[in-house]
Chains A and B, each alone.
Chain A
């Protein structure tokens, strides 16, 4: 992994002046964390909860700063993972409070291993999903990025179009074609 000097400088800044350093970190990655979290919890939480969850994410990173190995990952990657986990925890709590069975089931089916499946089935599913992500990577950019923005960050077609400097119909068409290619290449696995 190529060392990211900006990340290292940022970590040093946090250690020297935690308040200022964390501000810089939020400015750099706050919107990404919010995007990931909002995607997970917006069905059961409001925007204030999203902000709180983002704050928890960055605080988690702060408390784990000594454990972060920038040779293995970037701050962006770590924040993304922590944000996802925080969002899952927040969703679990909020969903239980709201007793929203339908949303809970839908979320569980996408985010949490099916408890009814056997370990062999879970391992097979994990392998299939890894293969699917390999196929997505094989599509190359911008399709792989479009799919990630659409199906992980849950961005709208307009948001994706604006981010990539494309027209909305182009994004829509690319998604359609990419899914078709994936369907063909994953036939027999899914």
Chain B
């Protein structure tokens, strides 16, 4: 029995959750490495960092297409065709890249610079769960797998009734065979950890990171969105890449298709690349049941910290034009995965029901990104006044923000704010955009070097608005308010056109 306890203890530690690991490891100190060993490790890390050509935290994309002209996908037709023909045309089309681009090859190219994306669709279901792989991307040595588990037995009523006891509900419904259900109060709103296994090209693989979000599906049940990241550095590269993902006892196969970024090769792409503001994205459409799904994959972040996806710019909104009529799509809510800064930027959905054209044109006008900045802020040598004029101008690479004045307010419930003992710092500011870049909002703000959350903007007038920041410290102690990153819209124009017949 003693032996069993020791074995069980080892197994339990091996299966620790991240929270349990944090708890156990927090006070653990270990004997230091020898100086020689430490130096060897440092040298190996530097060598790896040197090979990727990285600086800071950004990953270099080794090959990309810089589009000199717009790529056009058109489903043109003057005669009516059935949806089936449209589907066939799109399927046939996306075996080649129609446009022309300039290939720029990074001199630090390595063998591991291929891009693979999900080939076709991969979904399966049983009486409890529908498992649907939304995206699979391999870039370099990393596999990003994003999938949803649609929990068929959870309804709106179940959620309403069990809002404070979600974990009990999941156990009762039997979802504990697909998910480890946490019973900790702090995980009340996100108690599910998927029980998964995966294999790729016959080799079992283990994710080094798993992120889980939940969202309401359009059918008012419960979709769990899971992102998993795998290291494939030990895998041999090949043209055919096959995997299998298992959730509980539900398995789904998936195949990957190599994207050949050499524009002179036909029959290779499975998507079309667009470039806006230095950001390169692959747009990959699929038609399913009279809906057009456009998946966006980031090929090159263009130096930005994060790329959220395509958007409009100014008064131009991305749209699909079918038979000269503009259709506006929506973000597939089942694809709202926790932001990772990874390759899959998201999915747009367009309703093609009722249209029998064989031609469509997708127009994109902007790209939504996040950019980091250093030393952009307001600095005080002494305690600031409770209200003071600043007239401080900050330049965010061509975008000018003027912080006109600051004040400290003590808002409360009467004003619709949460009580904050240190009050709120209100910065009255205006922003002048450049022609090609539009300011969206401040993404990350710190006060005296500590990040703050829960800030927002109100009080809009023609020129100024108020940035309201809940203060983590008394205002007299403020010495620096820094804008660490901002969200931007990059302007550009790209049209994607699909011909019916491959040339």
Contact = CB atoms under 8 A, between A and B. Distances in A.
A113 interface: yes
A89 B234 contact: yes
B188 to A, nearest CB: 15
A42 interface: no
B372 to A, nearest CB: 8
Nearest to A183: B5
Contact of A183 (B2, B48, B180): B2
B29 A163 contact: yes
Interface in B1-58: 1-2, 4-16, 18, 20-33, 37-38, 40-42, 44-46, 48-49, 52, 54-57
B315 interface: no
B5 A74 contact: no
B206 interface: yes
A86 B48 CA distance: 16
Contacts of A130: 12, 180
B231 interface: yes
Nearest to B43: A55
Given A60-B208, A89-B231, A123-B195, A76 B45 contact: no
A85 B15 CA distance: 11
B107 interface: no
B26 A74 contact: yes
A110 to B, nearest CB: 5
Contact of B9 (A73, A85, A88, A151): A151
B interface, size bucket = 35 or more
Given A32-B28, A186-B5, A23 B22 contact: no
Contacts of B28: 32, 145, 148-149, 153
Contacts of B10: 110, 151-152
Nearest to B24: A148
- Say what secondary structure dominates the interface of chain A: helix
B340 interface: yes
Interface in B47-77: 48-49, 52, 54-57, 59
B2 A59 contact: no
B306 interface: yes
Contact of B41 (A30, A152, A153): A30
Contacts of B9: 132, 136, 147, 151, 179, 182
Nearest to B11: A110
A64 B394 CA distance: 30
Contacts of B178: 119
Contacts of B234: 89, 93
B46 A19 contact: yes
A170 interface: no
Contacts of B23: 137
B422 interface: no
B22 A73 contact: yes
B55 A76 contact: no
Given A129-B11, A151-B10, A14 B57 contact: yes
Given A32-B28, A151-B13, A179 B450 contact: no
B213 interface: no
A35 B206 contact: no
B395 interface: no
B8 A18 contact: no
Contacts of A46: none
Contacts of B342: 67
B449 to A, nearest CB: 8
A190 B41 contact: no
B21 A62 contact: no
A27 B231 CA distance: 25
Contacts of B33: 30-31, 34
Contact of A179 (B5, B56, B372): B5
A159 interface: yes
Contacts of B216: none
Contact of B21 (A81, A86, A141): A81
Nearest to A30: B33
B201 interface: no
Nearest to A155: B30
Nearest to B23: A137
Contacts of B32: 31
A51 B44 contact: yes
A40 to B, nearest CB: 9
B14 A110 contact: yes
A151 B6 contact: yes
A167 interface: no
A67 B341 contact: yes
A166 interface: no
Interface centre among A66, A93, A141, A190 (most CB of B within 10 A): A66
Contacts of A26: 38, 41-42, 45
Interface of B: 1-2, 4-16, 18, 20-33, 37-38, 40-42, 44-46, 48-49, 52, 54-57, 59, 142, 176-178, 180, 195, 197, 204, 206-209, 229, 231, 234, 248-249, 305-306, 340-342, 372, 374, 449-451
Q: Which 4 A-B pairs rank lowest in CB-CB distance, beginning with the nearest?
A: A55-B44, A129-B12, A152-B13, A77-B22
15 contacts: A18-B56, A22-B49, A30-B38, A55-B41, A63-B142, A64-B208, A76-B25, A81-B208, A92-B204, A129-B15, A148-B28, A149-B28, A152-B14, A182-B5, A186-B8
Given A111-B11, A111-B14, A119-B178, 17 more contacts: A31-B31, A31-B32, A51-B40, A60-B208, A60-B231, A66-B306, A76-B22, A77-B22, A81-B18, A81-B21, A89-B206, A118-B249, A119-B248, A144-B24, A153-B30, A163-B30, A163-B31
